[in-house]
Structure 1
Amino acid sequence: MGELLIGAVDVGSARARAGLFTAGGRLVARASRGFSTIAGPDRQAMHDFAEIWQAVAEALAEARRQAGASPAQIRALAFDATCSLVVQAPGFAPDVIAWHDHRAIAEAAELGAIAHEVVVRAGGSVSPEMQTPKLMWLRRRRPEIWAALQGVRDLCDHLAFRATGLEVRSHCAAAAKWPWLPDRGGWQTDLLARIGIADFPRPGPVLPPGSRIGPLSPQGAAELGLEPETLVAVGLIDAFSGALGAAPDMPALIAGTSNCVMAAGLAAAPALWGPYPDAILPGEAVSEGGQSATGALLERIRRLYPRPASHDEILARLAAAKDEPGQGLHVLPDFKGSRTPFADPLMRGTIHGLSLDGSPAALDGFYWRAAVGIALGTRQVIAHMGLAPAALAMAGGQARSALLRQLYADAIGAEIHWQPEDAVLRGTAIAAAAPLMGGLVAARARFSHPAEITRPDPAARARRERDWRIFRRMQQQRAEIAAM
């Protein structure tokens, strides 16, 4: 029959990735497939769930092919995803509202003015990336869709629903993105009634990550190319999965399309999301500070090159440069608004010193200086959270680059601990394995691996401190201009 394997699926902003792990936590195969983002008016961004599901199936099939694994070897499966909103209703297409869709800015502002614990745990200023303002928008702007709702779920929950046919919500997603407080009775029906959305369908229990949902349905097994006996467990939001799969016992930076800093034991504070009790591990409340569209900014710059270049190719040239590229360029990277510390979805980025030079060398400099601005923004998030970590676990796509790990170490002044195998997929595999291994904590211990440690370079300290002073001055000047 072969070695038993644990399956993990990570659905990000543009790709579905599948990984297969041994019971000892070793990644044996990883594959990905892309899917479309469909732009709409008024800051809208959407996906087609059928396309996402096809990408999931193809990624799983390719991972099995790489591993030479039969369907029967995959004993358990879990899903993580961005906090996108799946809307099941006749006539609503595309049917997935992307996490970064900002159509509900007005509703988010209205919700943020209400004195309620849900708002407090959203940092006192609700982001349009949360699910509640999106539900308010749907109720008000598309009442015919609201009246016909068959289901409305976080993407990680809908993936599990499609796989099993069973209605279960992830405690992680519900606590972090929905009006559901685990320590205050669950669904906040008083708030739901006040904002007019108390009637949305929400059947089934809310269960902690790593809980058993059930086996694949016959349809789910056929579509995914797996056996119906494959056990599906409750997953997480992608950043939370990254924190679970990263080096333990320290704050975690998940640096992908956006940057999130996750830490336990913090009190509620402005522009800080949480604390969310038991959102990852039992008995632990986690909080999140973040920057929107960081990796997306680097991707946008990559697309400016006159000839196609991969991120790895750009980073290799930057690592080989004798002098720092892009000198004189400075970037405030808030091109999709600020989560932390300003909690302003309408804030926009700033570039100082950009020339008309469109050569690859000039674009390399622009790419690097944008990365510096992103790392400085992470430093600011960490400071706003009241953290002064000696070490920071790192996960996400940016973590695969040794050059970027060094940049974060230098900009933040902390060691970067990186487990070389994909931390987001590992976190989801831990959730998948939990029902078979006695729970999430035991599975995490089985899957943990030694970290590679990147220490700050003393030679870079003066340069990054100068960058930090300029970064803060540019923020002051931006605020002065906005006030005019």
Structure 2
Amino acid sequence: MTPLLVAVDVGTTSARAGVVTDTGAMLARAEAGIALRRNGADEAEHDSEDIWRAVCRAVNAALAMADADPARVAGIAFDATCSLVVRDRAGAPLPVGVDGDANWDTIVWLDHRAIAEAEEARATGHRVLGFSGGALSPEMEIPKLMWLSRHRPAVWARAGHIFDLADFLAWKACGTGARSQSTLTSKWCFLAHEDEGWPSDFLAAVGLADLCEKAGLPEHASPIGRALGRLTPEAALQLGLPQTVVVATGMVDAHAGALGVLGGFASAPRSIDRHLALIAGTSSAVTALATAPRPAPGVWGPYFGAVLPGLWLSEGGQSASGAALDHIIRVHASGAAPSPQTHAAIIDRIVALRRETDDLAPRLHILPDFHGNRSPFADPRALGVISGMSLDASFDGLCRIYWRTAVAIALGVRQILETLNAAGYAIDTLHVTGGHTRNRLLMELYADATGCTVHEVPDADAMLLGSAMAAATGAGLYPGLADAACAMRQPSVARRPDLTRRARYDRDYKVLMTLHAHRAEIEAMM
């Protein structure tokens, strides 16, 4: 029988599972919600056991939808947000919240409680910062770990297992203490290109000299797709899979998406630097690959082997993209709950308004950094700006602000792209995956505002496809990850930019740069 693969992708509010063939075809996918606890704008927590239960529900549902014999499943791999799971020496959950409830043992990726710690790490000027864009984000694990050791000393004293979420899921599945090269290089300051990967002097400088002990970290990282072991009896029962299933090293969700859309170019590594992956949903991750390290200011990385072996990853992003559009809907007088139906109604009206004038609301300009600027300024304290507001509280007024926010999001991607090209990339092709593919305005803008040819894989889920590639490698279906990525690549549909709109977006881009400069001047006065 042809072998099957199970891929799991855990996002901010749900876990998704897919049943995938060894050629990359998606037979079925299923989703299960996960709990998210917020404490103000900067703190967010998960219950890791709740996440595991959601994973099991999604896997069982996907298998049922595919009408697949579980005995055919050869491998499984997990990708997840870079959320931080905290456990004690026996593997029991430890509380990260102020109320001491151990069920809430996970600091969510978008949590910004560690802004001060991120700034302190940046102030060290340590050479490790050269592999993270010159600064650490509070969304990374090192600042979160610094915060935990200082603000939860009793929890830190008891800690014995601390995981990136993707590694935690592998641990739950097969009991492995291995950690992914994707998670460690991009979130834990691990230098995979060096013989001594852990920068002990840096960890000591930021108060984490005992990190390896407290987190149960291995000396070396495991490459993506390495076989870590087989399912434990308990995990096999919960997932509805046989114990023969091989668990492969997983990765950060954005890296899985990058692998899903860029991995097919692994056969031509010297030209892979023309391609940019945009994994876009609540936030956006922009990832590029090259055969040599190409550091760029405000761009995370370069990370060695974080997506494909032998290649360096540069990663930019927007902490709020889809979330910025949701916020605009939520706070406007004519807004409502930012549901898919609300977005669709606004988009339909914008399409109608643009039939009257394609240059809609030209005096309205948005700086959409409502949750900080991830790239290229690496400033988690940055705030958004709306310039050109009137007293228009109508639905059409909301539509104009929504449209200009969408323009600003696309121009922000252009800014990251130009930063990467200035560092040696030659990007002219953008591969978009995630929730933004369902927003026809954004898909149009990503081509027109950046000047890139935009590719979309309409029938594939890039994160699940990337994890399936890792699972296929771990199960031994292909000799290596690059081979799996090339063999499982899915066809895409291309959209070329409308060059007649270039001058308009060039003007808007100049305004965006001016808003950034003015914001910096105002901040300096405070």
Question: TM-score normalised by the shorter chain: which range applies?
Answer: over 0.9
Q: Find the counterpart in structure 2 of residue 144 from structure 1.
A: 154
Q: Secondary structure at the match of 2:170?
A: helix
Q: Find the counterpart in structure 2 of residue 201 from structure 1.
A: 215
Q: Find the counterpart in structure 2 of residue 288 from structure 1.
A: 315
Superposition pairs of residues 48-63 of structure 1, within 5 angstroms = 48-63=47-62
Q: Write the deviation string for residues 15-40 of structure 1: whole angstroms up to 9, x where unpaired.
A: 21111111111111122222222112
Q: 1:343 aligns with which of 378, 387, 390?
A: 378
Give ranges in structure 1 of 5+ residues lacking alignment. Answer: none
The structure-2 alpha-carbon separation of the partners of 1:443 and 1:318, relative to structure 1 and needing over 3 Å to count, comes to farther
Does 1:238 pair with 2:263?
A: no
Q: Write the deviation string for residues 256-282 of structure 1: whole angstroms up to 9, x where unpaired.
A: 222222122342232121111111111
Distance 1:367 1:158 in 2: 38
Q: Write the deviation string for residues 232-270 of structure 1: whole angstroms up to 9, x where unpaired.
A: 111111111111111433222222222222122342232
Superposition pairs of residues 88-237 of structure 1, within 5 angstroms = 88-89=87-88, 91-92=94-95, 93=102, 94-184=104-194, 185-199=196-210, 200-204=214-218, 205-237=220-252
Tell me whether 194-203 or 129-138 shows the greater mean CA deviation.
194-203
Contact 2:10 2:16 in 1 (8 A): yes
How far apart are residue 371 of structure 1 and its match?
1.2
Q: Secondary structure at the match of 2:162?
A: strand
The structure-2 alpha-carbon separation of the partners of 1:295 and 1:307, relative to structure 1 and needing over 3 Å to count, comes to closer
Q: Write the deviation string for residues 47-77 of structure 1: whole angstroms up to 9, x where unpaired.
A: 1112212221222222222211232232211
Distance 1:222 1:388 in 2: 48
Q: 2:467 aligns with which of 423, 428, 450?
A: 428
Tell me whether 355-364 or 96-105 shows the greater mean CA deviation.
355-364
Distance 1:74 1:357 in 2: 57
Distance 1:399 1:157 in 2: 28
Tell me whether 385-394 or 80-89 shows the greater mean CA deviation.
385-394
Superposition pairs of residues 398-409 of structure 1, within 5 angstroms = 398-409=436-447
Give ranges in structure 2 of 5+ residues lacking alignment. Answer: 96-101, 266-271
Q: 1:443 aligns with which of 469, 484, 508?
A: 484
Aligned partner letter, 1:277: F
Q: Write the deviation string for residues 355-403 of structure 1: whole angstroms up to 9, x where unpaired.
A: 5555544333332221111111111111122245221222222134443
Q: Secondary structure at the match of 1:79?
A: strand
Superposition pairs of residues 276-425 of structure 1, within 5 angstroms = 276-303=303-330, 305-306=335-336, 309-310=339-340, 311-312=343-344, 314-319=346-351, 321=353, 322-323=355-356, 324=358, 326=361, 328-355=363-390, 357-385=392-420, 386=422, 387-420=425-458, 421-425=460-464
Tell me whether 273-282 or 292-301 shows the greater mean CA deviation.
292-301
Aligned partner letter, 2:450: I
Distance 2:461 2:361 in 1: 30
Contact 2:192 2:221 in 1 (8 A): no
RMSD value, Cα = 2.1
Distance 2:41 2:490 in 1: 45
Q: Secondary structure at the match of 1:169?
A: coil
Contact 1:430 1:440 in 2 (8 A): yes
Q: Find the counterpart in structure 2 of residue 252 from structure 1.
A: 277
The alignment's TM-score, normalised by the length of structure 1, stands at 0.94
Aligned partner letter, 2:215: P
Distance 1:476 1:407 in 2: 23
The structure-2 alpha-carbon separation of the partners of 1:24 and 1:317, relative to structure 1 and needing over 3 Å to count, comes to farther
Distance 2:10 2:344 in 1: 21
Q: Find the counterpart in structure 1 of residue 99 from structure 2.
A: none
Aligned partner letter, 2:260: G
Q: Secondary structure at the match of 2:375?
A: coil
The structure-2 alpha-carbon separation of the partners of 1:448 and 1:141, relative to structure 1 and needing over 3 Å to count, comes to same
Q: Secondary structure at the match of 1:172?
A: helix
How far apart are residue 127 of structure 1 and its match?
1.2
Contact 1:42 1:103 in 2 (8 A): no
Aligned partner letter, 1:341: P
The structure-2 alpha-carbon separation of the partners of 1:68 and 1:316, relative to structure 1 and needing over 3 Å to count, comes to farther
Tell me whether 122-131 or 354-363 shows the greater mean CA deviation.
354-363
How far apart are residue 86 of structure 1 and its match?
0.5
Distance 1:164 1:152 in 2: 16
Q: Secondary structure at the match of 1:206?
A: coil
How far apart are residue 3 of structure 1 and its match?
4.7
How far apart are residue 337 of structure 1 and its match?
0.8
Q: Secondary structure at the match of 1:453?
A: strand
Q: Find the counterpart in structure 2 of residue 268 from structure 1.
A: 295
Distance 1:219 1:317 in 2: 52
Contact 2:160 2:216 in 1 (8 A): no
Q: 1:467 aligns with which of 493, 508, 515?
A: 508
Contact 2:372 2:380 in 1 (8 A): yes
The structure-2 alpha-carbon separation of the partners of 1:364 and 1:229, relative to structure 1 and needing over 3 Å to count, comes to farther
Tell me whether 14-23 or 258-267 shows the greater mean CA deviation.
258-267
The structure-2 alpha-carbon separation of the partners of 1:91 and 1:308, relative to structure 1 and needing over 3 Å to count, comes to closer
